[in-house]
Amino acid sequence: MKLKKLSLLIATSILLGNYVAPIGLASIVHADSLVKADNTSEVISQQPFEKMVEDGYLETDVNTKKVLITEKYKQEVLSSVDTNVYDVRFTENSVTISPIFSPRAFTGVSKVVYTWKGIDIYLDNVRANKLAAALAVGAEVAALAGLVPASAVGAIIGEIFAIGSGLVWYNNAAGRGIIIGCIGQFPHAKAHWITSQ
């Protein structure tokens, strides 16, 4: 027991040492030791903008007080981005680069939540897709029983037929799963809405 406590104490001190040690090693800087800064730091911070204006990448509109990107800037961006993988969109002063193909999210949870109005059946992305496919082909009640969480299998299965596959696919378009809201408690619950998680 003493060995266990000792090893726990050592492990804790090592872990805390990594966070506390830098605080103890921090040095105090006095005003006398600071070197006076000149205006070069301000010039350096303004130089990239002015350089981009001089090089023809940016224009400044004095009347509207806007900074505009030029065709040269757009061509530079397009030459540095793989347009087979990324979509590039330009406005007068911004560039938006986003992936053309974004992976679907295979997330969500499968559970039954009891609320004041009845129950909410949560189906993850995979189960929602399977439910939509089963509804599309007119699957039997036994086929749907494996898709819904066990505690909701009761009388809800018949109500799920009323939802329809299109509604399930539409609400699961983001890949996060669906929530089927039901009014009432078992065994008399009635499905009345569906939404995405």
Q: Strand runs (DSSP E) across the chain, as ranges?
A: 58-61, 66-69, 86-90, 95-99, 111-114, 118-123, 178-183, 190-196
For residue 55, which of 75, 43, 72 has the smallest C-alpha distance?
Answer: 72
Cα–Cα distance between 148 and 112 in angstroms, integer?
9
What H or E segment, with its residue span, contains residue 144? helix 141-145
pLDDT at residue 71, as a whole number: 92
Cα–Cα distance between 55 and 59 in angstroms, integer?
10
Give the other-Cβ count within 10 Å of 124's Cβ. 20
pLDDT at residue 46, as a whole number: 58
Residue 78's identity, in one-letter code, is L
Cα–Cα distance between 160 and 58 in angstroms, integer?
58
pLDDT at residue 54, as a whole number: 87
Task: Name the pTM for this structure.
Answer: 0.43
pLDDT at residue 162, as a whole number: 64
pLDDT at residue 89, as a whole number: 85
pLDDT at residue 156, as a whole number: 63
Residue 25's identity, in one-letter code, is L
- Residue pair 171/140 in contact (Cβ under 8 Å)? The answer is no
- Residue pair 146/152 in contact (Cβ under 8 Å)? The answer is no
Residue 133's alpha-carbon distances to 4, 139, 142, 174, in angstroms, are 55, 9, 14, 17
- Residue pair 72/56 in contact (Cβ under 8 Å)? The answer is yes
State whether residue 196 is helix, strand or coil. strand
One digit per residue, pLDDT tens: the chain, 197 residues? 454 444 444 544 444 444 444 444 444 444 444 455 555 555 445 567 788 888 888 888 888 888 888 999 899 888 888 888 888 888 888 887 877 876 655 688 888 787 778 788 888 888 888 888 877 776 665 566 666 655 555 556 666 666 677 888 888 888 889 998 888 766 677 888 889 98
pLDDT at residue 9, as a whole number: 45
Sign of the dihedral through C-alpha 96, 170, 179, 193: positive
Output the six-digit token pair for 165: 């596959």
pLDDT at residue 161, as a whole number: 66
